[in-house]
Structure 1
């Protein structure tokens, strides 16, 4: 039986590191067992903020990978300023702390590169893929963004060839937090909204990663919207031995706007009030950490309790989260972040370690943690309850009884999520 051919257009592909690459790398891994042959299209010379060569080993043997060059403005900008590299990683300082160069770069990025800095890849990709799609009888194309330029590729292919087009939104478009930091003029802001609306109303099917985003998009389009979250894969690791210290670990980028002062204050007070807590407590920061986070930690007298490990491979990050006593997840206290579900959450769910999460009210993260009974979720006003819970976990740690009993996490496995994706493709 011939498999259905599906063209997947993605910017992030190994050796790209970070969460953006995981989603479609795993879908591609499992799609063939559901009667689908994935064909991946990605840039041949991208500028990835992070790389992880270990992920190259996870690319399935025998799949077709098409590559075409991309002309990115970051290549030129990097010659002139280190600020370009910082901004390309998504690290945007508070406005009052931005340099003139950073302000200028954000203005240019937001107003001259719409929808984003990968817009120069649209025309050559449409030209190349329109021929490939016709030659190889491909009837379904999937675009995944951000970068949302890839959805414009799908939009143009849909108009030219009338293919079945599925637009996958790993994050929202005009309502994501950093969008407001791009110093958009009214003209640019309206152009973003117009493109977003056109994509949402032209694609045959929309896929989103959260219920909040689905509700948001339902105000813009009547097209079918499916929620397929990110997920976890079973990582085969040798036996993991839990840390002997009371470790609280944050895995992934910890940007300055996520600075949870209630956590730092809670830890500061616990260290002052409990001598044994001070003896055993350690905070592991695994990934990029914003400068403001480091300064605030210092201000609360926590520096000597911190292991600032920096960026590590995905394999290493999994080891850290499985051996930690507690896992930390923090999101910005904003309505704009209610739809954000960090990819690491799903790996946290199967690490068998309790989660301490801090974020806005009404978020998808809160729903998932409560539904799976994998930890506790706190608002930015919950200082005393947060402090009490950390102390409770510490007492369980001392008695060697710090455990978690997850419920129903199987539906977030990459294999089960790919099955749901295959059903969407065959509709």
Structure 2
């Protein structure tokens, strides 16, 4: 079986969204002739019992670049003073023109030699680096110089120079040429570039037309096991309480508006509960004060556990902040939302979100809505039936995408 070395900041069992794409690819690639070896950061998450074997029945070799979890994400509530200081410190560093393309450059520069040793030990047929953070591609550039015969694939899960979250702004614009040189190097030196976001694919075709034969679009998607979760949910007796759920990224002001909209529904005699899955933020306490026993905070769950909560809902909500809505990114959770067939309310969706939502009929898109507008939308969506999401699922399920990726890899290394 051919071997691919995947270099990623996060990987299973890390529940962060940054781990999902590579976890799903690694799960299915062996079915199509590619055995993954994963080199990633250690954030202190551990799998228990037979979880690893269940997730990767064909086996996956995972190597932590840092042996301890000391450099991982701080396990502190966002309301904790120390956590606020840490976040503020990171934001200050990110605003300074020190590290190109991002502050993770310090980490990846430290482990370039270790990754090189991994290549020598396992002799992979192909190397893949996946961003963000975009500095992970510095490792790919280094490996391409050291092992020029090994094809290198650069995977962009999010846009780079066209996205407000990553492009140089403020003081960082002083080193704009440095960011541009980094981007050009990745597109010139890699053997293939995979984009998850259609806008980044279009941008690359326009800016690097001489490299356009390298560019491939493999969007995000939904796990192959999602249908099983839906079937299990359908077999359970439906409760009288209607469930509205937000999973993943959300803006503080937006979730407070959603909570007040749910409060209005309950005042009007409906029995509606709001659930929230994801990292704790200051908005959680505000929502608790508004909804009391009509609010359930599930916490930061594993991807599989979050799916179970999702498919048991009556309406799913994506609520981005005004700033996040300006991004060119595509909210990856929407692929799972739409595959369930459950009615969806998208608040402040990005341009890419709006493009994707055009493929389904039971999604409402609202831009900077009032509380009453959100409440009215909930009334409509709660009265809609769950649709069959099979067509959307078939198009975007991760196993089908992994087969496409395996075919792209085969094309790079030849017979």
Residue of structure 1 equivalent to 2:92: 107
What TM-score does the superposition give when structure 2 sets the normalisation length? 0.80
Secondary structure class of the residue paired with 1:327: strand
Residue of structure 2 equivalent to 1:148: 134
Identify which of 196, 201, 204 aligns with 2:188. Answer: 201
Secondary structure class of the residue paired with 2:329: coil
Deviates more, 1:130-139 or 1:316-325: 130-139
Identify which of 325, 332, 348 aligns with 2:321. Answer: 332
Shift of 1:15: 2.7
Distance 1:113 1:70 in 2: 24
Residues 60 and 24 (structure 1), Cα distance of their counterparts in 2 relative to 1, 3 Å cut: farther
Identify which of 243, 254, 263 aligns with 2:250. Answer: 254
Shift of 1:335: 7.8
CA contact (8 A) 1:254 1:289 kept: no
Within the alignment, does 1:63 sit opposite 2:60 as a pair? yes
Within the alignment, does 1:165 sit opposite 2:152 as a pair? yes
Secondary structure class of the residue paired with 2:174: helix
Deviates more, 1:342-351 or 1:63-72: 63-72
**CA offsets 1:323-365 (integer angstroms, 9 cap, x no match):** 111111122335864532333222222333211112246x222
Distance 2:89 2:26 in 1: 39
Shift of 1:11: 1.9
What TM-score does the superposition give when structure 1 sets the normalisation length? 0.78
Residue of structure 1 equivalent to 2:407: 423
Shift of 1:144: 0.7
Gaps of at least 5 residues in structure 2 are none
Identify which of 127, 144, 151 aligns with 2:113. Answer: 127
Distance 1:173 1:367 in 2: 19
CA contact (8 A) 2:250 2:318 kept: no
Residue of structure 2 equivalent to 1:404: 387
Residue of structure 1 equivalent to 2:232: 239
Distance 2:94 2:81 in 1: 10
CA contact (8 A) 1:72 1:118 kept: no
Residues 132 and 180 (structure 1), Cα distance of their counterparts in 2 relative to 1, 3 Å cut: closer
CA contact (8 A) 2:248 2:333 kept: yes
Distance 2:204 2:285 in 1: 36
Identify which of 38, 41, 44 aligns with 1:40. Answer: 38
Secondary structure class of the residue paired with 2:299: coil
**CA offsets 1:97-150 (integer angstroms, 9 cap, x no match):** xx6x75444222443444344334434543244455356553421101112221
**CA offsets 1:32-56 (integer angstroms, 9 cap, x no match):** 222222222224xx236x7775863
Deviates more, 1:285-294 or 1:62-71: 62-71
Distance 1:121 1:405 in 2: 45
Residues 244 and 269 (structure 1), Cα distance of their counterparts in 2 relative to 1, 3 Å cut: closer
Within the alignment, does 1:376 sit opposite 2:376 as a pair? no
Equivalenced residues, count: 396
Distance 1:42 1:325 in 2: 37
Deviates more, 1:215-224 or 1:166-175: 215-224
Distance 2:386 2:25 in 1: 31
Residue of structure 1 equivalent to 2:376: 388
Residue of structure 2 equivalent to 1:316: 305
**CA offsets 1:277-330 (integer angstroms, 9 cap, x no match):** 2xx0111112224314654x479x545532223222333222211111111112
Gaps of at least 5 residues in structure 1 are 88-98
Deviates more, 1:21-30 or 1:235-244: 235-244
Identify which of 6, 21, 26 aligns with 1:8. Answer: 6
CA contact (8 A) 2:93 2:103 kept: no
Residue of structure 1 equivalent to 2:203: 216
Distance 2:81 2:165 in 1: 15
